[in-house]
Structure 1
Amino acid sequence: MVIGMRKLGMGMLLPVLLALAPLHAAQAEVPFFEAAVKAGDLPPMDQRLPKNPLVVTPMEGQTLGKYGGELRTLIGNPSDVKLMFVNGYARLVGYTPDFEIRPDILESVTVEEGRIFTMKIRAGHKWSDGAPFTSEDFRYWWEDIANNEKLSPAGPPASLLINGEMPVVEFPDPLTVVYSWSVPNPNFLSELAGAAPLLIYRPAHYLKHHHERHIDKKKLTPKQRIMMKSWAANHNRLDNLYKFDNPELPTLQPWRNVTPSPATRFVGERNPYFHRVDPQGNQLPYIDKLIFTVSEGKLIPAKAASGDVDLQARGLRLQDATFLKENEERSHYKVLLWETARGSHFTLFPNLNAEDPIWRKLMRDVRFRRALSLAIDREEVNDILFFGLAVEGNNAVQKQSPFYTEELRTKWATFDLDKANALLDDMGLTARDGDGVRLLPNGEPLTIVIETAGEETEQSDILELINESWEKIGVELFTKPSQRAVFRNRIFSGETVMSVWSGFEDGIPTAQSSPATRAPTSQTSYQWPKWGQYFETKGKSGEPIDLPEAQKLFDLYERWLATTDDDEKAKIWREMLEIHADQQFTIGVVGAILQPVVVTNSLRNVPKEGVYNWDPGAQFGVYHPDLFWFDK
């Protein structure tokens, strides 16, 4: 942990020094705001910036830019408007392209003994509506939201819980916030830096008007008093910093969504109080507007090829690359191929918390999970759908990780129908119907309904190939697509017996990376949602872990949290990865898929090479989209 903390300390130093570097003389106003400044509706730029703005230096291959333009992109459904928040990637602390953590919104962070985090806010930093951003915004979240039973019935997020202990939170002055525990919390900064981060602040000046603790009930009309009975629901509806669907909610992101839902076209306008500048003192972002248009997922490649986007990766697959390349010259764009970092691109999730007792017993039998994995012809999937360019194997780690081994990738993941059939026979599943499908103990055919979010045809193509090989071991597969919200709720409730999603986001972990996702700590781990929910709600809902191997993973995770020794952390990581490969809690198919990125010819500063990943990475976020600009 000492090495990790040294790296962190050095990583945090550079932006602070840059922020203190003298800027050029007063800069020209951002053209987008000139009229508002002239009319007196907006203060000039030097009064909108913090006293010490974050100076962002372009990376190698990037240049200083010019103001203006509207960046067009396509999203698959209205809820994806949150990608303005994800890709804007303004965080208290954030990852660099090298995946080191450095201050961003914060001016500095001091870490003592790995357990005391003193956060300094930039003097003069303001929300997008011009209100001051201070420690009061942190206090409001901690005292009035996280610890309010009506707004947060389960209390503060479980990710803040270390050995059963919540942090001591202090606000010494308007620019200082201190989080401390009695033991180290190695997850804290990475939680703050995530694509969907732990948001420990809120715009108090806005939300207080909707909070019973801050409303003078004597001044309310009778109708307003009645409405106060549902104040918590109204507060939660308005408080969506991450979902980004309330245009009235102030933000700290480079662009603010100005389009209320429901809509099929969302507009993000530049934040007049954004805290970053380029080395010449020009306030970022360079681009004035983001235009997010909702499109059917299957139409996104065709629309991208027609030149309807300026930057697009979401909705594009490696299979689209050839078609997209053929249209580069006609539609004036270029296609980049970025690496991905997930443990597996396509993964099956047996639901160990399935409600049906027969399926629950089946999914919890490791022989069943191993048999299904052994009966997948990954080479066929790779050759037919990914031009043989993918890496076949488990939902484990990629070769860039220090923990990578061939055994982690291939254990129980080679194509072996004889061994798969033997495992199912050993379970007593020997009876078959007239079509050769094995029978369950209740006499019904062994037909696995695999549920998907129905957003990508690629999933259906892979499942069709898996079905062909599973038929050879007497297992039938049926695909059930549904909308993403319905899909997730069915998994969480235990109605789903198996689902499809991508694998572990962090496929290139180091000893300092949190192994939380490899243990039952989150409801969104589709292999054990109720165990994860039990942890997240501190036992108020969900189910306690009742499988020894899963409990072992949880115990190892707690050991990782407690130790400050990097060698011990690495040892714990290796043991957890070995358990996953052996137990097949998730069944990976192929990974290391290249991600096509369509970039219009006039858009500058998009790296030619990059890693397209959710967390860490925030898709384009770590490459600073606020530095992207149009050269027209």
Structure 2
Amino acid sequence: MAWEYNTERPSMMPWIITEWEDGADHMLATRNPYYWKVDVEGQQLPYIDEVYFYLVQDNTAVNSLALAGDLSMQHRGIELAQYPVYMENAEANNYHMLLWTVAQASGLTFFPNQSFGDPAYRELLQNVKFRQALSQAMDRDTINDIVWLGQATPRTISVVNDSALYQADIENIYGEYDIELAKSLLDEVGLPVGTGGNRTFADGSPLQLVIETSYTSGSLLDGIELVAEYWRAIGLDTKVETMSRDVYWPRAGANEVMIATWSTDRGLVPMTDPIYQFPFDERSWMAPAFGIWYKSQGADGEAPNAELKELMDLYDQYRATVDPDEQLRLAKEIVRKTTMNLNVIQTAGMAPGPVVVKNNFHNVQSDHTSDWIIMTPGTMDPSHFWIEQP
């Protein structure tokens, strides 16, 4: 339903969008009188007549509404760092909290763009030793404490532990905090320290890393700023630029962002939509121009380097075989190679995901694994949610 904003469009979904326009502060979905499902007693679903969506600027606004008790149920955007505050206000504002398992390999991930347009930066970002330096300059334990109250697991592997593709020996490969190793790796890459203490390119020209993000506030932005400080500590001039999602997302997909930020969800069954495993399409911000090339079968975008082309070839083999054992072998090889090459640089993952539920809102599962790819909470069949009337 997320894309069906046309209020005139017929739908087989439980609710129909009946009120929405660009720039509005809300969206309204109304019960579909022709919905095809009934409950076990023959009563037509859905139970809820209207769903009112607040359209807000950022996660800070989401959390403000939830803490005030103004949301019937909310999972996405609810910050674990504010969990103690939620618990303090729960009784007064008539809600309770759930903690769901989240299939995020990392809740905050950095995407050095290996197809970035500037040739000097492209060569640098394609250097695995440089990416390793970025990774080993991060203190993931501190990031975990600040962003997830210490409840996540510092890690670099691109899947969660419950995935069939999980491999324990690489769970946190190149993830140890070692600032001296990071500096020595930059020396090996050939980035001398300039007179001002910042690293330069080999020819002495200035070097500045630019991290872009749609996180404009909250604990995730705190984590990004912290990583920028870690990179500055090894001599890399680093700038953080924040912007709204409607500006950020097109820039990232158009290959305009040097280092993008997001999470790495799809951690249980990543081959369903492998955008974090290799350049699959324009959403693969580790190299969106290469992803466009793969998506268009070479008609658009740019041809990838050898390392990323190998991952594409492995995925083509994965799709071509019907042997489940061979599929598993190939998928695990993709995960292993992309993790060890740090194509995405992760911080910590598998933190519990908080959920706010009003006490009169029912049929929300307490035990659930949340993931974008399954459209959480869509697998609960929200047509069965109901609101107790006073």
When normalised by structure 2's length, the TM-score is 0.94
Cα separation, 2, equivalents of 1:343 and 1:433: 39
Q: In the comparison of the two structures, how many residue pairs are matched?
A: 386
Superposed displacement of residue 406, structure 1:
2.8
Equivalent residue, structure 2, for 1:544 = 303
Aligned counterpart for 2:279 among listed residues 520, 527, 535: 520
Q: Check conservation: 2:146, 2:219, Cα contact below 8 A.
A: no
Of 440, 454, 461 in structure 1, the residue corresponding to residue 222 of structure 2 is 461
What amino acid maps onto 2:308 in structure 1? Answer: A
Letter in 2 for 1:415: Y
Distance 2:383 2:129 in 1: 50
Per the alignment, residue 385 of structure 2 pairs with: 628
Cα deviation per residue 1:119-164 (whole Å; 9 max; x = unaligned)?
A: xxxxxxxxxxxxxxxxxxxxxxxxxxxxxxxxxxxxxxxxxxxxxx
CA distance in 1, matches of 2:89, 2:232: 40
Q: How does 1:121-200 map to 2 (within 5 A)?
A: none
Flag structure 2 segments of 5+ consecutive residues without an equivalent.
none
Q: 2:348 aligns with which of 545, 568, 590?
A: 590
Q: Secondary structure at the match of 2:231?
A: helix
**Equivalent residue for 1:432, pick from 186, 194, 197:** 194
Structure 1 residue 472 corresponds to structure 2 residue 233: yes
CA contact (8 A) 1:395 1:586 kept: no
| Corresponding residue for residue 495 of structure 1 | 256
Secondary structure at 2:281's aligned position in 1? coil
What residue is the counterpart of 2:177 in the other structure? 415
Q: Distance in 2 between matches of 1:619 and 1:386?
A: 20
CA contact (8 A) 1:519 1:553 kept: yes
Contact 1:351–1:491 (8 Å) recurs in 2: no
Aligned-partner Cα distance in 2 for 1:406–1:421: 27
Pick aligned residue for 2:96 from 334, 340, 352: 334
Distance of aligned partners of 1:401 and 1:542 in 2 relative to their CA distance in 1, 3 Å threshold: same
User: Secondary structure at 2:97's aligned position in 1?
Assistant: strand
Query: Matches of 2:100 and 2:221 in 1, distance apart?
Result: 24
Q: Which residue of 2 aligns with 1:377?
A: 139
Shift of 1:261: 0.8
Q: Which amino acid aligns with 2:323?
A: D
The CA deviation string for residues 330-373 of structure 1, in whole angstroms up to 9 with x for no partner, is 11110111110022111000111111111111111111111101
Map 1:219-238; keep pairs closer than 5 Å.
none
Distance 1:433 1:499, change over 3 A: farther
2:371 alignment partner AA? N
Contact in 1 for aligned 2:140/2:347 (Cα 8 Å): yes
Supply the distance in 1 between the matched residues of 2:29 and 2:176 (Cα, whole angstroms). 47
Summarize the Cα distance change of 1:296–1:461 in structure 2 as closer, same or farther, 3 Å threshold: same
Q: Is 1:508 aligned to 2:265, yes or no?
A: no
Cα distance, 1:486 vs. partner?
A: 2.1
C-alpha spacing 1:455/1:607, structure 2 compared with 1 (3 Å): farther
Separation (CA, whole Å) in 2 of partners of 1:610 and 1:460:
27
Q: Is the 8 A contact 2:279 2:308 kept in 1?
A: yes
Q: 1:594 to 1:460 in 2, by over 3 A?
A: same
> Offset of 1:299 from its aligned partner?
2.5
How big is the shift at 1:447?
2.2
Per-residue CA deviations over 1:371-412 (Å, capped at 9, x if unaligned) read 101111001111233221111011411111233233322111
Maintained 8 Å contact 2:20/2:26? no
Shift of 1:515: 6.4
Q: Hey, what does 1:245 align to over in structure 2?
A: 5
Residue in 2 that maps onto 1:255: 15
Matches of 2:63 and 2:257 in 1, distance apart? 30
Q: Match of 2:19, SS?
A: coil
Following superposition, the deviation at residue 320 of structure 1 comes to 1.4
- What residue is the counterpart of 1:102 in the other structure? none
1:278 Cα deviation from its structure 2 partner:
0.8
Match of 1:602 in 2: 360
Shift of 1:601: 0.6
The 3-state SS of whatever aligns with 1:380 is: helix
* 1:531 corresponding residue in structure 2: 290
DSSP 3-state at the match of 1:433: coil
The yes-or-no answer on 1:268 pairing with 2:26 is no
Structure 1 alignment gaps of length 5 or more:
1-84, 87-242
- 1:313 matched to 2:59? The reply is no
Task: Give how far 1:463 is off.
Answer: 1.7
Distance 1:618 1:375 in 2: 34
How far residue 304 of structure 1 moved from its aligned partner, in angstroms, is 1.1
What TM-score does the superposition give when structure 1 sets the normalisation length? Answer: 0.59
Partner of 1:204: none
Which of 472, 475, 481 pairs up with 2:242?
Answer: 481
Q: Would the alpha carbon gap of residues 584 and 574 (structure 1) be closer, same or farther in structure 2, given more than 3 Å must change?
A: same
- Counterpart of 1:536 in structure 2: which amino acid? K
Moved more, 484-493 or 329-338: 484-493
Report 1 or 2 for greater relative contact order, CA contacts < 8 Å, sequence distance ≥ 6. Answer: 2
Q: Aligned partners of 1:519 and 1:500: how far apart in 2?
A: 16
Report whether the alignment pairs 1:345 with 2:113.
Answer: no
**2:40 aligns to what?**
279
- 2:186 corresponds to which letter in structure 1? L
* 2:314 counterpart (556, 563, 568): 556
- Tell me, yes or no, if the aligned pair for 1:355 and 1:495 is still in contact at 8 Å: yes
Contact 2:192 2:202 (8 Å CA) reproduced: no
Judge conservation of contact 2:62–2:78 (CA < 8 Å) in 1.
yes
2:367 is aligned with what amino acid? E
- Alignment-mate amino acid for residue 248 of structure 1: E
Distance 1:566 1:283 in 2: 40
Q: Do the aligned residues in 2 keep the contact of 1:344 with 1:589 (CA within 8 Å)?
A: yes
Query: Residues 471 and 519 of structure 1: is their aligned pair in 2 closer, same or farther, counting only changes over 3 Å?
Result: closer
Partners of 1:365 and 1:519 lie apart in 2 by 16
Using the alignment, how far apart are the partners of 1:493 and 1:508 within structure 2?
28
Which structure has the larger Rg?
1
Alpha-carbon deviation of 1:433?
3.0
Aligned equivalent of 2:331: 573
Offset at 1:476?
2.4
Mapping of residues 393-404 of structure 1, within 5 Å: 393-404=155-166
RMSD (CA atoms): 1.7
